[in-house]
Amino acid sequence: MNGTTSRNDFRFPDGFLWGASTSAYQIEGSPLADGAGSNIWHRFSHTPGLVANGDTGDIACDHYRRWRDDIRLMKELGLAAYRFSIAWSRIVPQGTGAVNTRGLDFYDRLVDGLLEQGIAPLVTLYHWDLPSALDDRGGWLNRDIGEWFAEYARVVFRKLDGRVKKWVTLNEPWVVTDGGYLFGVLAPGHKNLYEAPLATHNTLRAHALGVQAYRAEGKHEIGLVVNLEPKYPASDHPRDIAATARADAYMNRQYLDPALLGTYPEELRDIFGDAWPEFSADDMRLLKQPIDFLGINYYTRSVTRDDSTALPVRASRVRQPRHVHTELDWEVWPDALMDVLLWVTKRYGPVPLYVTENGSAFYDPPSSEDLVDDPLRTWYLRNHLRAVHRALQQGADMRGYFCWSLLDNFEWAHGYSKRFGLVHVDYATQQRTVKGSGRFYSEVIRTNGACLAGG
């Protein structure tokens, strides 16, 4: 945007990509249909006591059968793009080896259906649903998983590349490792300090080998999606400043530094102590693969203080009691989205950026036949989109924005108790109802952001 742009002019550049995001296990349902193999979230959710209310993804939003209706909804909202993930175990039920053509055909039909409506697919190859058969072989702790992932990716590239022009290797590897291997609150449910760095490294190897596979097979663009949470010190005390640096290294730089700079943050040695392994120079060279874009998922920030009891990072969040928080107790702070987009630009150099997830879980009142009124979610969207625009004006190479989420869905260990959707889903009837926030986002798309000046 040029320097003469009005402070109140929130129009985005022509060609800015407006979309919404989902993931396979959260919406598809029918996880074992048509020859699919089990995945770790199917196993985890069917283990008593691990997911709120005993919820599972067995039905979810029934998108596996209702995808045509959902595409019509996307068209009604005016989406130019749709980010979804592919379930690895639908394509390769055992994780390696035999390909399930019926699973591949589902995504083939979905992509064609999107393109028929003028909606560009952005495909994520891995959004947390590892085939159970690979988990039985060590999962992300097995170094061979990088090659397994590349093998699966090649199958998908050969089927869909050309019609799909934007690919993502992994979604939020930090969550895979932190929730799945260190704290055990997400699948596969391990709690082991020594496992976490190995899982981190193997996810990054898989990303790198996936990029290499795409360079050999594909003709368009591939990137990585990370979740970033800007850290701000709770005070100017040196201990709080050091704690903030540790927290930032652990959550934000642990994945970006290796993928974009070829090194791990030094703070990780301090955080993990003797659990931190040494990695070969060859491995570090491998991790730094050129990518075409970076996806950033942003939900909240963290005001951080030193806390010796909060292991392993020895840092904790200081809740800001006078600020709005979502139902997940995440502080609403739109300025941090602008800050993190500019920080990425400054630290890693100019790279095309997409906000690949941004959204909020708020209580939705009972719906009428034609509308769910959710003013807090609309307010959240308006202010975060303004923050994206400010980052763009200050030099971030913003290419698109994808709201999380298109539909209310299975929110992992929270089950169906939290709703992020632009579209309300009645899980008993599968009735979809566009929320007020969905209508608002549709107007943002129609006006290319100009309507953000109001309200």
pLDDT band for 6, please (50, 70, 90 cuts). low
Backbone angles phi, psi at 341, to 5 degrees: -65, -40
Q: Which tens digits make up the pLDDT trace of 172-225?
A: 999 999 999 999 999 999 999 999 999 999 999 999 999 999 999 999 999 999
Q: Which tens digits make up the pLDDT trace of 248-297?
A: 999 999 999 999 999 999 999 999 999 999 999 999 999 999 999 999 99
Separation CA 382–CA 441 (nearest Å): 8
- The runs of H, that is alpha helices, within 321-413 are 335-348, 375-393
**Residue 349 above 50 pLDDT?**
yes
Q: Which tens digits make up the pLDDT trace of 363-396?
A: 998 766 678 999 999 999 999 999 999 999 999 9
7 vs 156 pLDDT, higher one: 156
Separation CA 131–CA 59 (nearest Å): 18
How large a percentage of the chain has pLDDT more than 90? 96
**Residue 2 above 50 pLDDT?**
no
Active-site position among 28, 172, 195, 229? 172
Determine the average pLDDT of the residues in 100-108: 98
How large a percentage of the chain has pLDDT more than 70? 98
What is the torsion angle, in degrees rounded to the nearest 10, for the CA atoms of residue 33, residue 39, residue 45 and residue 49?
150
Separation CA 80–CA 87 (nearest Å): 23
Residue 36 and residue 103 in contact, taking contact as beta carbons nearer than 8 Å: yes
pLDDT for 380:
98
Angle at the Cα of 402 from the Cα atoms of 401 and 403, rounded to 5 degrees: 120
pLDDT for 367:
67
Q: Which tens digits make up the pLDDT trace of 390-449?
A: 999 999 999 999 999 999 999 999 999 999 999 999 999 999 999 999 999 999 999 999
Closest CA to 187 of 45, 87, 38: 45
pLDDT for 7:
66
Separation CA 348–CA 12 (nearest Å): 23
Q: Which tens digits make up the pLDDT trace of 48-96?
A: 999 999 999 999 999 999 999 999 999 999 999 999 999 999 999 999 9
pLDDT for 4:
34
Closest CA to 92 of 30, 35, 138: 35
Q: Euclidean distance between the first and final Cα of the chain, in Å?
A: 23
Give catalytic status of residue 229 as yes or no.
Answer: no
Determine the average pLDDT of the residues in 336-348: 98
Structure tokens at 2: 């040029």
pLDDT for 455:
73
Mean model confidence pLDDT for the chain: 97
DSSP β-bridge partners for residue 13:
none
Residue 94 and residue 148 in contact, taking contact as beta carbons nearer than 8 Å: no
Q: Which tens digits make up the pLDDT trace of 313-329?
A: 999 999 999 999 999 99
Give catalytic status of residue 357 as yes or no.
Answer: yes
Active-site position among 195, 229, 357, 411? 357
DSSP states along 382-397: HHHHHHHHHHHHTT--
Question: CB burial class (10 A; 0-12, 13-18, 19+) of residue 170?
Answer: buried
pLDDT for 366:
75
> Could you tell me the domains of the chain?
17-453 (3.20.20.80)
Residue 405 and residue 19 in contact, taking contact as beta carbons nearer than 8 Å: no
pLDDT for 111:
99
What is the torsion angle, in degrees rounded to the nearest 10, for the CA atoms of residue 297, residue 298, residue 299 and residue 302?
130
Residue 27 and residue 60 in contact, taking contact as beta carbons nearer than 8 Å: yes
Separation CA 230–CA 268 (nearest Å): 17
For 384, residues 6+ apart whose C-beta sits below 8 A from its C-beta are 298, 334, 337, 358
Closest CA to 334 of 382, 269, 278, 267: 382
